[in-house]
Chains A and B, each alone.
Chain A
C-alpha cells in the first residue's frame, strides 16, 4: 500500500506552521491513518532501522510511504561533517559550497516539527506543549 500524500508545503522554509495547517485540513486524516498503520505494522516498512535510502525504514516511511519529496528535507548540496548545530546562515553558506569534508546532507529539523511535536501524528520527539 503506497499513499501519495501532498505535502509540498513542507519545503525548506523555516516557518512551517502555516502551510502545515492548510495541508492538515485536507489530508490530516490520511496522514494520521497512515502513521497509525505504520506503527501497527499494517504497512510494511521493513526491519532495517537505518538511514539507507532504499532499504532503511527511515526513508521507506518518509519518502516511500508518506511520499515526501527529497527536496522537502534535503537541500541539494553536501554539508560538512564537522557541523553540529548548524545555523540557518551556516547552512546556506555550506550549501553554497564553502563546506569542508562533505559527508551528509543536512535536514533542517523544522521539517520534522509538524508531525513529531506534541500531539503530532507521528512519534513525539519534540515536547512542544511543555513550555
Chain B
C-alpha cells in the first residue's frame, strides 16, 4: 500500500512562509480562503523568550471528520482516495460548512466569492486562465468549501504514468509547499515505504501527529519544537 504523508520539522522551519506563497500561486488562491497558514507563537518572558513557527494545511486524515460530516447528510462531496488524499468536489458541495465545523483542525475554508487578487477588481492574466484548462481542484466556485489537496493535480500525473513510487522524490510529483522550502523543513512521501524520508523522519526525529484525541489519524506529522498545539 501507498500511504502518503507529510512530515514538518518545526525545528528546521524558520517561519518564512514560502510554503504559503507557493501554495497560493500553485493552487489559485481564493483570497480569504487560504489552504496553508503559518502560526507564530511566542513563549517565555524577556529575556528568556522563544518563538516557534508551525505551518498548517489539511491533515488528510485516515478517518476524516469532514468526510464523516458530509456523508452524514448524504452530500458526499468529500472523498478519500487510495493514496490517502482527501478531496472536495466543488460541484457536489452545497456550502453547508459542516465539514469545517467537524474538522478538529478547522481546515476546510468556505469562500463566499471568488475575489480578484488585486483590489482593482480585474483579473490578471494568471487569474484569467480558463477553467477548462485548469485542474478540477483549481476550478474554484463561490459558496463552496475548499482546502489543501496535497497538490493532487501533481500526484494524479504520477498515477497516470504509473510512477507513484516517485511521489515526493521528484519535483513534478511533490506538493509545491514541500518543494520550495528554503531549509528543507518538510518532506512528503509514502510512509509505508521504510526507505522513504517521511518514514525515516518519523522514526529518527520523533515526529508525531497533533490533536490525536479526535481519532482522525492525521497524515501530517510534526517534529515539534515546543509552542502550543
Interface residues of A (CB under 8 A from B): 49-51, 56, 58, 81-90, 101, 103, 106-107, 109-110, 112-113, 116-118, 123-131
Contacts and interface: CB of A to CB of B under 8 A. Distances in A.
A83 B106 contact: yes
Given A58-B101, A87-B228, A128-B215, 19 more contacts: A49-B96, A82-B34, A84-B56, A84-B106, A85-B37, A85-B56, A85-B59, A85-B229, A87-B39, A87-B54, A89-B41, A90-B41, A109-B214, A123-B69, A125-B68, A125-B69, A130-B215, A130-B217, A131-B215
Interface string B88-108: 000000111110011111110
B34 A106 contact: no
A51 B101 contact: yes
A41 B36 CA distance: 38
Which 3 pairs from chain A and chain B are nearest by CB? A89-B228, A128-B215, A49-B96
B26 interface: no
Interface string B183-225: 0000000000000000000000000001101111100000000
B179 interface: no
A7 to B, nearest CB: 17
B37 A123 contact: no
Nearest to B229: A87
Nearest to A116: B102
Interface SS, B side: loop
Contacts, number: 109
Interface string B65-98: 1001100110100000000000000000011111
Given A49-B94, A84-B57, A117 B41 contact: no
Contacts of B215: 117-118, 126-131
Contacts of B69: 123, 125
Contacts of A82: 32, 34, 37
Contacts of A113: 213-214
B24 to A, nearest CB: 11
